Structures are given as C-alpha cells and as structure tokens.
C-alpha cells in the first residue's frame, strides 16, 4: 500500500501497539527497522518508537536524520525516539535521577496546539525511561511538562514532535487523541481495512510460496486455523500436521479433527504424548521446558514430514515475535515462544518459513478469520499457548498433574460458557499449584494440590487485568472442582495483573 505511516522500531515492548492504535484509527501503518527508512518509499508520516537502549551508549540505534528531514512529513519521536531527535537537533540527553516507570501527569503548556490540541491539559500518561532530555536546542518549544516541570512534550519545528511518554498504551488517557492529532498533520493518509489487508496477505502468501510445497502445523487454535483458511483461500495446497503432545486440553484432539473435516481439509495426526512426557520428566525450569517442547515438537514434526521441507507455514502473531525477540532485533527476550526455536529460526534465515500473520494481533486475526468464513466457535476461542498445559503445571509435568489440570479446566470453562462469561474474557484457565496442602475430606485429613483459576481481560495480551468474575460463579467453580477432581483440596483465584505477572504461570 502506498504512503504507509512508518513506525521505526527502536525495540520497545510497545512498538507494535503504535501500529495497532493507528490501524484502530483506520489508517495503514507498518513497522520498519531503523536501517530500513530509505526502503519505506514515501511515508505519510514517521513515528520513532521507544526502546530499551540509551542514546548515550556507543552504537546506540540511529536514524538517517538528513534523509528523515528530506521527507518533509510529520515525525513523532516517542521516548527513545524523542531523545534521539533532541540530539539530532543539537540538544542533549542525560541520565535521569531515577528510572521513571508507570503513571505520571501531563500538564499541557498554555497555547500548545499541534499534537496536544484539544487535550484536557492535565491527564495521566505512562512513562518508561531512565534518560531524559537535558538541554534543548534553541528553536525547540516545550509543549508539555510533568508535575515536576520536566519537559515531556516537545516541538522542534512544524514537522518534528516528541513525547517522553507512551501514547500507545491504554494507561495514557489521552494517548489516542495525541496520535490522532499527530496524524491530522499528515497528507494522503492511507486507509486500513481488514478486507483489503486480507487481499494483500493473499498476494503475500502467493508471492512467498512461489510454487513450493508447503507444510503447516495445526493445533485447532485460532491462529493456525486462520492460517489454514488463508492458505486455502490463496489456492495453496498444503499438508497439515497435527502433533498431539499430550499437553492439550480435554477433547482438543477430536475437536481439531472435526474442524478440519468441516473445512474439507485433511490433517495427519501424530500421537506423541508419551514422548513429550518422558522428555519433560524431572524438568522444572520454565525456559528449559519450553526449549524441550519446542525442540521435540520440531523433531516429531520433521520426522513426519521429512527433512527436505520446502516451506513451513506458521501462524506466528506479532506478540510471539516481540516477546521472544532475540539479539537480531533490539527488544529483550521475555520468554521463548515455541515457534521461534533455533531450528525454525535457521530455516527462517534460509527463507523456508512463512509467517503471514506476523503483523497481526489476536483480535485482528479473529477479524480476518471471520472474513475468511471460519465458524464463530473457532474464531472466538481463547488463546492457548504452544507449550500447552506444561506452562500451567509449574514444576515437573507429570501425567497425574496434567489429568488434574485438564479436568479442573474443563469444569471452569464449561461454567464460564454456561454463565455467558466465556466471550467476555480474553482467556481463562485452571493451573495447578505444585504444592500440597492439608485439608479435610469426609472425616479424613487430605494432603493434596491447590488449583489456581485465572481469567483475564486484555486487548492484546501485552497487558492484562484479572476479570472481576461474580463471587457466586467462582464459588460454584470451586465447589465443582473440589467435589469432582481427585487430588485437589484447595482452589484459589489469581488476581494478578500483567505486568508484573504474565498471563500464563510460566
């Protein structure tokens, strides 16, 4: 698409949220690495993201500033982006007194317009930085400050703007207004519609496949189902493999079979539960578990399809890319996602992996799935992690613990469906707490596991709130689990937000 709104990625955890917010405003935006600026073509506007590095470090990520100026389009620097622009305009950046993380207040300077046009003048913003601008170049105007009078919004000239805080996160109350104001300074804004994005994706799939034979792992989850539907729509005749890891929820394997037969597509199922369980025996470290599952999955998968796979299609979404980013990009690793293990990354370098959904967030994938005609029960399914129930069994994964988790999870999910809560939460599940506690069952002492129930509200899994489920529903879930699931004598409800917790236990 012509004239994208280019978001230059300096590695912040929130960078893709900027792209997403712009899409929500109805415009087309895309992410680029700092060195790719010249390849963007003619962007309608440029946003420089935040990032974990300091502009004062040797080899700090940089931008071709002369070229950026020559574009003569609106530019917004966010956090690191603002500090970088300040340096480019001849100002200075210094370490802040403290690392500022979390809520702060924006005070709009009297008479400020442009990106702060129409704002309340006193609203919450979200900070995440340690450096701050210390000296401002002469022509620079301060348009907003925090409560300590520190400049947090700058304007260097008619095109160049900067903000120290993150307008893309929902904790910045007027963040969307700021982005909207910024975009209103641009000409020829490209419109974003999922239906036309679908056409672009189909073109992309055809171009990337280029007549090669495709294999695709499926799980029955939203992502791989949407990917399969997209490949189908693009006229790609792929071979679909379903590896039953034994780490799935109750009846999941059967549901996958029936979904694909409804789509008129054949899948090959491999039952590998025993192999996964033995590989995981005595392993307790979460990253080690993920690595083992990832590697074994890949071994089994390639054992079935052969080593000389021409092209592998994966339903990787943007958050998977960002949360397991490694040294190749700037963001720091949070946890390794199963579809980004070494062997697959090697194939990817060799151009043998396609990930057509890698720019999308979950709800966008759902929207795409609906446009592609997938049944609602599939598109509205809660996300389920690649390593499956293993990340819901902290400590060693055993057959006994898996049985318990599966049983309790089914009870909890059934109840959420019965009470019409399933679609109101982003994700819900039961996890086992690997600690036995004392209780009384009948007249006897019991010494059994505790379960944790978790239900979260989220927009994109990057941040999450715990869902305020009715006590009565929680009470019933607890009663049913305590009565029906052997091996459990305690049920807890997890009231942790992300951050600092994550959605899954591991």
As measured in angstroms, the least distance from the Cβ of 299 to ligand XMP is 17
Residues numbered 308 to 327 that lie near ligand XMP (CB under 6 A) are: 320, 323
Task: Give the residue carrying structure tokens 């052969």.
Answer: 306
As measured in angstroms, the least distance from the Cβ of 324 to ligand XMP is 8
**Which is nearer to ligand XMP, 100 or 320 (by Cβ)?**
320
DSSP percent split of the chain into helix, strand, coil, nearest 5: 35, 25, 40
As measured in angstroms, the least distance from the Cβ of 382 to ligand XMP is 8
**Which is nearer to ligand XMP, 147 or 334 (by Cβ)?**
334
Q: What DSSP line would sit under 145-186, residue for residue? A: E-TT--EEEEESSSSEEEESS-TTSTTSTTHHHHHHHHHTT-
- Start-to-end CA span in the chain (Å): 39
**Which is nearer to ligand XMP, 73 or 243 (by Cβ)?**
243
162 makes contact with ligand XMP (CB under 6 A):
no
**Which is nearer to ligand XMP, 164 or 225 (by Cβ)?**
225
Q: Are 182 and 27 in contact (CB under 8 A)?
A: no
504 makes contact with ligand XMP (CB under 6 A):
yes
As measured in angstroms, the least distance from the Cβ of 330 to ligand XMP is 19
Catalytic residue among 3, 161, 168, 382: 168
Tokens of 146: 């925090």
Quote the DSSP letter at residue 52.
S
496 makes contact with ligand XMP (CB under 6 A):
no
Alpha-carbon distance of 51 to 340, in angstroms, equals 22
151 makes contact with ligand XMP (CB under 6 A):
no
104 makes contact with ligand XMP (CB under 6 A):
no
Tokens of 465: 């709130």
As measured in angstroms, the least distance from the Cβ of 437 to ligand XMP is 25
167 makes contact with ligand XMP (CB under 6 A):
no
Quote the DSSP letter at residue 40.
G
Q: Return the axis-axis angle of helices 286-305 and 273-280, rounded to nearest 10°.
A: 150
Quote the DSSP letter at residue 192.
-
Task: Give the residue carrying structure tokens 């974990």.
Answer: 52
Distances (CA, A) of 433 to 429, 487, 492: 13, 12, 9
Largest CA distance in the chain: 81
Burial zone of 427 (CB within 10 Å; 0-12 exposed, 13-18 middle, 19+ buried): buried
Catalytic residue among 3, 129, 161, 166: 166
Reply yes or no on whether 166 is catalytic.
Answer: yes
Quote the DSSP letter at residue 191.
B
Of 42-50, 227-235, 331-339, 443-451, the segment contacting ligand XMP by CB under 6 A is 331-339
Reply yes or no on whether 168 is catalytic.
Answer: yes
- Which residue of 337, 392, 407, 454 would you call a contact of ligand XMP, by CB under 6 A? 337
Q: Residue 154: beta bridge partners?
A: 142, 162
Q: Which of 189, 178, 187 is nearest to 76 (CA)?
A: 178
Alpha-carbon distance of 143 to 122, in angstroms, equals 13
As measured in angstroms, the least distance from the Cβ of 335 to ligand XMP is 6
**Which is nearer to ligand XMP, 467 or 503 (by Cβ)?**
503
Total binding residues toward ligand XMP, as defined by CB under 6 A: 15
**Which is nearer to ligand XMP, 287 or 346 (by Cβ)?**
287
- What element of type H or E holds 159? none
Task: Give the residue carrying structure tokens 């009870």.
Answer: 411
Of 182-190, 233-241, 333-341, 430-438, the segment contacting ligand XMP by CB under 6 A is 333-341
Residues numbered 443 to 462 that lie near ligand XMP (CB under 6 A) are: 461
503 makes contact with ligand XMP (CB under 6 A):
yes
> E strands along 136-286, which residues?
141-145, 151-155, 160-163, 214-217, 239-244, 267-271
**Which is nearer to ligand XMP, 173 or 502 (by Cβ)?**
502
Q: Are 32 and 61 in contact (CB under 8 A)?
A: no
Tokens of 473: 């529903």
- Which residue of 338, 366, 381, 392 would you call a contact of ligand XMP, by CB under 6 A? 338
Distances (CA, A) of 272 to 135, 152, 245, 277, 490: 61, 55, 5, 9, 32
386 makes contact with ligand XMP (CB under 6 A):
yes
Q: Are 104 and 146 in contact (CB under 8 A)?
A: yes
Residues numbered 425 to 444 that lie near ligand XMP (CB under 6 A) are: 427
Quote the DSSP letter at residue 390.
G
- Which residue of 33, 54, 380, 502 would you call a contact of ligand XMP, by CB under 6 A? 502
Reply yes or no on whether 459 is catalytic.
Answer: no
Of 165-173, 382-390, 404-412, 434-442, the segment contacting ligand XMP by CB under 6 A is 382-390
Of 21-29, 134-142, 158-166, 380-388, the segment contacting ligand XMP by CB under 6 A is 380-388
246 makes contact with ligand XMP (CB under 6 A):
no
**Which is nearer to ligand XMP, 222 or 451 (by Cβ)?**
222
286 makes contact with ligand XMP (CB under 6 A):
no
- Which residue of 385, 389, 415, 454 would you call a contact of ligand XMP, by CB under 6 A? 385
As measured in angstroms, the least distance from the Cβ of 247 to ligand XMP is 11
Alpha-carbon distance of 18 to 318, in angstroms, equals 12
Distances (CA, A) of 208 to 196, 203, 213, 341: 18, 9, 11, 21
Q: Are 173 and 126 in contact (CB under 8 A)?
A: no
As measured in angstroms, the least distance from the Cβ of 461 to ligand XMP is 4
- Catalytic residue numbers read 79, 166, 168
Binding residues vs ligand XMP (CB under 6 A): 320, 323, 335, 337-338, 383, 385-387, 427, 461, 498, 502-504
């Amino acid at each position: 698409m012509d004239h994208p709104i280019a978001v230059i990625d300096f590695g912040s955890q929130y960078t893709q949220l900027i792209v997403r917010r712009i899409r929500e405003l109805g415009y087309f935006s895309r992410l680029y690495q700092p060195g790719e600026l010249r390849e963007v073509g003619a962007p309608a506007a440029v946003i420089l993201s935040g990032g974990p590095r300091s502009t004062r470090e040797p080899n700090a990520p940089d931008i071709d500033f002369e070229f950026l100026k020559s574009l003569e389009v609106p530019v917004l620097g966010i956090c690191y982006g603002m500090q970088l622009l300040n340096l480019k305009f001849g100002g200075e950046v210094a370490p802040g007194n403290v690392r500022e993380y979390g809520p702060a207040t924006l005070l709009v300077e009297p008479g400020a317009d442009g990106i702060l046009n129409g704002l309340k003048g006193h609203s919450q913003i979200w900070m995440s930085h340690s450096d701050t601008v210390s000296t401002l170049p002469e022509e620079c105007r301060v348009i907003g400050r925090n409560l300590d009078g520190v400049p947090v919004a700058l304007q260097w000239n008619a095109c160049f703007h900067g903000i120290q805080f993150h307008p893309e996160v929902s904790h910045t109350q007027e963040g969307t207004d700021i982005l909207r104001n910024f975009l209103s300074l641009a000409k020829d804004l490209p419109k974003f519609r999922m239906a036309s994005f679908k056409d672009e994706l189909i073109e992309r799939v055809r171009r990337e496949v280029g007549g090669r034979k495709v294999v695709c792992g499926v799980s029955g989850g939203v992502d791989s189902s949407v990917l399969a539907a997209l490949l189908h729509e693009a006229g790609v005749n792929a071979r679909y493999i379903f590896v039953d890891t034994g780490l799935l929820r109750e009846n999941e394997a059967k549901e996958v079979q029936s979904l694909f037969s409804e789509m008129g597509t054949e899948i090959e199922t491999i039952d590998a539960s025993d192999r996964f369980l033995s590989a995981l025996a005595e392993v307790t470290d979460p990253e080690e578990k993920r690595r083992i599952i990832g590697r074994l999955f890949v071994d089994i998968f390639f054992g079935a399809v052969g080593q000389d796979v021409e092209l592998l299609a994966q339903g990787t979404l943007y958050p998977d890319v960002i949360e397991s980013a490694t040294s190749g990009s700037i963001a720091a690793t949070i946890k390794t996602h199963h579809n980004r293990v070494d062997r697959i990354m090697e194939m990817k370098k060799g151009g043998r992996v396609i990930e057509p959904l890698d720019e999308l967030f979950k709800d966008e994938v759902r929207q795409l799935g609906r446009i592609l005609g997938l049944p609602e029960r599939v598109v509205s399914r809660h996300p389920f992690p690649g390593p499956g129930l293993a990340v819901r069994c902290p400590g060693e994964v055993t057959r006994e613990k898996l049985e318990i988790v599966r049983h309790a999870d089914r009870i909890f999910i059934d109840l959420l469906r019965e009470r019409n809560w399933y679609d109101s939460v982003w994700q819900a599940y039961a996890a086992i707490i690997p600690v036995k506690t004392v209780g009384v069952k009948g007249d006897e002492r019991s010494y059994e596991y505790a379960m944790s129930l978790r239900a979260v509200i989220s927009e994109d899994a990057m941040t999450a709130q715990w869902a305020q489920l009715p006590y009565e529903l929680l009470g019933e879930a607890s009663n049913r689990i305590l009565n029906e699931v052997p091996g459990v004598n305690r049920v807890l409800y997890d009231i942790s937000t992300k951050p600092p917790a994550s959605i899954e236990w591991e």
